[in-house]
Structure 1
Amino acid sequence: MAKATVRTILLVGLVWALLAQTVLAEEVRRYVVEGSKAAELDACVEPTERMRRMHFEFIKHQRIATVHQGIRGTKYSLAGCVDCHISYDEQRQPQPIDRPDQFCGACHAYAAVDLNCFDCHASVPNRSEDSPEAQAAHQALGLGPLGSLAQTHAGGGER
C-alpha cells in the first residue's frame, strides 16, 4: 500500500513537472515578437539556446571592444539586436524594445532581471528600416535584405 502511494505521488509529480516545462517553453518562445525580423528566422547570430543563456556576455564583450578598442559593427552589437528584434505597429512606428510586451522587456520581466541597457541606449532604431545604414547593418549580420519588412510589419502587433 505504501509503495503504491509513493509511486502515485512520484507519477503525479513527474506529470506536473513535464506540464510545467511545456508551459515554460511556450512562455519563453512567445518573446520573439511577431512583426520583427527575428520572428522570420530560425536562429539568431548564435543558436537560440546559446543566445538565451549568453547574450549578456556577448553584449558585455562587444561593449568592451567598442569602448576600449573602437571596434564597431560586429555581430554582437546592441544596435544589431534592436534592428532585428524590434517590432512595428500598424502605422509602421517602431515599438520600444524594452516595453514589457516587447522582446527585451518581456523576457527580462519573465526572468526578473533588471534591464538597464536602455537607460543610455536607444530602445528603437535611430534610423528608418529603409535607410541604407539599416540595410547595411542587416546585411553585415548575414540576415539578408530588409525588403520583406513591409509585408511582415503590415500586420503589426505582438504575440
Structure 2
Amino acid sequence: MAKAVVRIGLVALGLVWGAFAAQAAQADEVKRYVVEGSQAAERSACVEPTERMRRMHMEFIQHQRIATVHEGIRDTQYSLTGCVDCHISYDANRNPRPINQPDQFCGACHRYAAVDLNCFDCHASVPNRPAADAEAAHRAAGVTGAPHGGGH
C-alpha cells in the first residue's frame, strides 16, 4: 500500500514537473524568435496564426514568389519585405540589425531548426529605407496587422 502511494506521488510530481517544463520551454521559444525592439514584439498575431506561420511560412513565401514573378500579381500579404519590415529590430542608434543574424528573427529560428537560410543571399536582410520610413509605412498599414510591403 505504501509503495502505491509513493508511486502515485512520484507520478503526480512528474506530471507537474513536465507541465512546468513545457510552459518554460514555450516561453523561451516565444522569446527566442520574437526579437525585442521589433514591431512583431508589439503584436499579438502575424498575418496568420503563429503555429500556421511556423509550419507553412516557406509555402507562403514560395506562393508569393510564383504569383509575383511568374503571374505579375503583387498581392503582398506574404511578401518577404513585409516580414522583414515587421520582424526587424534596431540597435541603440536606430540602425536595423540584419534579420538573418544568428540572434535575430530568421537567423535564430533557422539555426535552431538546422535549416539553411539562403533567402538573403539575394534579398535584403534589412529594410530598403530608413527606420523612420519603415515605421511610417507600418503605421499606414494599420496597427492590427503586419506591414505588407512590396516585393516577393
Q: For structure 1, list consecutive stretches of 5 or more residues without a partner in the other structure.
A: 145-159
Classify the secondary structure of the residue corresponding to 2:131.
coil
Structure 1 runs of 4+ with >3 Å offset: 1-13, 133-136, 139-144
Contact 1:98/1:123 (CA < 8 Å) preserved in 2? yes
Q: For structure 2, list consecutive stretches of 5 or more residues without a partner in the other structure.
A: 145-152
Specify which of 43, 46, 65 is matched with residue 44 of structure 1.
46
Within 2, Cα distance between the matches of 1:127 and 1:39?
21
Q: 1:83 to 1:73 in 2, by over 3 A?
A: farther
Within 2, Cα distance between the matches of 1:72 and 1:63?
9
Within 2, Cα distance between the matches of 1:23 and 1:114?
27
Residue 18 (str. 1) matches residue 58 (str. 2): no
| Deviating more after overlay: 51-60 vs 119-128 | 51-60
Q: 1:23 to 1:71 in 2, by over 3 A?
A: same
Give TM-score scaled by structure 2 length: 0.78
Q: 1:94 to 1:51 in 2, by over 3 A?
A: same
Within 1, Cα distance between the matches of 2:20 and 2:115?
24
Count of aligned positions = 142
Q: 1:12 to 1:111 in 2, by over 3 A?
A: farther
Residue 90 (str. 1) matches residue 92 (str. 2): yes
Classify the secondary structure of the residue corresponding to 2:128.
coil
